[in-house]
């Protein structure tokens, strides 16, 4: 018997995973640790099959419709753009979703993307793990310090949050209408951070530094800590100081060594100057001189 919608703690569930790659296999394993039974999974690539076999040993590999028919709770861990067509296809092909918890992990969507299945009787939950997954063993350990962005109908909120807690993480409620803004913030921070760090490491390599990570690790760790604790008050560097000659020299050097990065440097320097000026950290006359240098 499937659990009632008003239950504040999910019963032991038969779990299925559609898209048992890095995310699906990790969350399926976390639910198994919590006492649920992973009964079925679908995996397309060879790597996903290996992850499913290693992390979800009780699951049989099958097609998505069979996964849905076999489970009380189905994790839909597929790329953002594939989610809506997958849900529509499952309903159109007659998969039995009545009374089934359909849980997607896309940060970009709330529960409304599951509307075709909801209309057919499914119980929709959006549980987005705010962390990166590598397919390595540490993925499961990292869940203990992670948060999940949770969006669901009000009647299902207690169950959604309980599932996150069972996986060892912290639920953070995100309203349906704020889901895209929420995901924009996370993607902009995490994805662009990787690009910035990789670019910094490459430039240090071009400057003859053998181990860029040794320089960047302490510096960027301190900068991240300062930003999280202090916001703009944690800012340092030439933009804050109004060092226009230094900023101009940076741009000139980038034009020689990494011209494709110049627009990003200029845009981020402008944004930094605007934020610092608004916070009262940068004097108006210094900001004016900086913006003159940062004209594209």
Q: Quick: pLDDT tens for 14-30.
A: 999 999 999 999 999 99
| Domains: count for the chain | 2
Establish if 1 belongs to a structural domain: no
Q: Quick: pLDDT tens for 217-245.
A: 999 999 999 999 999 999 999 999 999 99
Instruction: Say if residue 130 is in the same domain as residue 80.
Output: yes
Comparing CA positions, the residue from 169, 171, 166 lying closest to residue 31 is 166
Looking at 151, 174, 197, the residue that finishes a domain is 174
Give the distance from CA 17 to its chain's centroid: 19
Instruction: Say if residue 198 is in the same domain as residue 160.
Output: no
Instruction: Say if residue 164 is in the same domain as residue 253.
Output: no
Give the residue numbers spanning the domain of 95. Answer: 14-174
Q: How far is CA 267 from CA 192, 264, 272, 274, in A?
A: 13, 5, 9, 11
pLDDT mean over 241-263: 96
Instruction: Say if residue 139 is in the same domain as residue 240.
Output: no
User: Is pLDDT above 60 for 272?
Assistant: yes
User: Is pLDDT above 60 for 6?
Assistant: no
What pLDDT does residue 1 have? 33
Q: How far is CA 15 from CA 74, 90, 151, 195, 290, in A?
A: 6, 17, 20, 36, 56
What pLDDT does residue 9 have? 57
Looking at 174, 197, 221, the residue that finishes a domain is 174
Give the distance from CA 227 to its chain's centroid: 19
Q: How far is CA 272 from CA 192, 256, 267, in A?
A: 15, 23, 9
What pLDDT does residue 151 have? 98
What pLDDT does residue 4 have? 41
What pLDDT does residue 227 have? 96
Instruction: Say if residue 132 is in the same domain as residue 188.
Output: no
What pLDDT does residue 24 have? 96
User: Is pLDDT above 80 for 50?
Assistant: yes
* Coarse DSSP helix, strand, coil percentages of the chain, rounded to the nearest 5 percent: 60, 10, 30
pLDDT mean over 163-172: 96
Min mean pLDDT across 90-99, 136-145, 150-159, 187-196 is at 136-145
Q: Quick one: angle between helices 179-206 and 212-230, nearest 10?
A: 150
Q: Which residues have CB under 8 Å from 170's CB, separation 6+?
A: 146, 147, 148, 164
Question: What rounded mean pLDDT belongs to the chain?
Answer: 94
Instruction: Say if residue 94 is in the same domain as residue 228.
Output: no
- pLDDT over 90 for what percent of the chain? 91
Establish if 208 belongs to a structural domain: yes
Q: Quick one: angle between helices 157-166 and 22-33, nearest 10?
A: 90
Looking at 152, 174, 196, the residue that finishes a domain is 174
Comparing CA positions, the residue from 114, 180, 105, 189 lying closest to residue 148 is 105
Q: What are phi and psi of 116, to 5 degrees?
A: -60, -40
């Amino acid at each position: 018997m499937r659990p009632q919608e008003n239950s504040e703690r999910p019963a032991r569930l038969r779990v299925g995973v559609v898209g048992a790659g890095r995310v699906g296999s990790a969350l399926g394993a976390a639910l198994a640790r919590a006492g649920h039974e992973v009964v079925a999974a679908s995996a397309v690539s060879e790597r996903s099959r290996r992850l499913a076999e290693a992390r979800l040993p009780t699951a049989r590999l099958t097609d998505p419709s069979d996964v849905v028919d076999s489970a009380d709770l189905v994790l839909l861990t597929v790329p953002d753009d594939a989610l809506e067509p997958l849900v529509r296809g499952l309903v159109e092909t007659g998969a039995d979703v009545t009374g089934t918890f359909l849980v997607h992990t896309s940060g970009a969507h709330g529960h409304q993307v599951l509307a075709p299945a909801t209309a057919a009787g499914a119980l929709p939950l959006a549980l987005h793990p705010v962390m990166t997954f590598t397919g390595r063993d540490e993925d499961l350990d990292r869940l203990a310090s992670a948060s999940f962005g949770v969006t669901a109908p009000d009647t299902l909120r207690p169950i959604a949050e309980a599932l996150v807690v069972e996986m060892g993480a912290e639920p953070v409620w995100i309203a349906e209408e704020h889901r895209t803004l929420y995901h924009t913030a996370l993607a902009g921070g995490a994805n662009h951070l990787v690009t910035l760090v990789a670019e910094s490491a490459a430039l240090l390599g071009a400057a003859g530094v053998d181990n860029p990570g040794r320089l960047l690790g302490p510096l960027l760790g301190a900068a991240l800590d300062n930003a999280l604790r202090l916001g703009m008050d944690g800012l340092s560097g030439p933009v804050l100081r109004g060092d226009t000659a230094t900023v101009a020299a940076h741009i000139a050097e980038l034009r020689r060594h990494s011209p494709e990065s110049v627009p990003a440097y200029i845009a981020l320097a402008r944004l930094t100057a605007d934020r610092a000026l608004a916070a009262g950290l940068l004097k108006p006359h210094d900001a004016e001189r900086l913006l003159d240098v940062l004209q594209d």
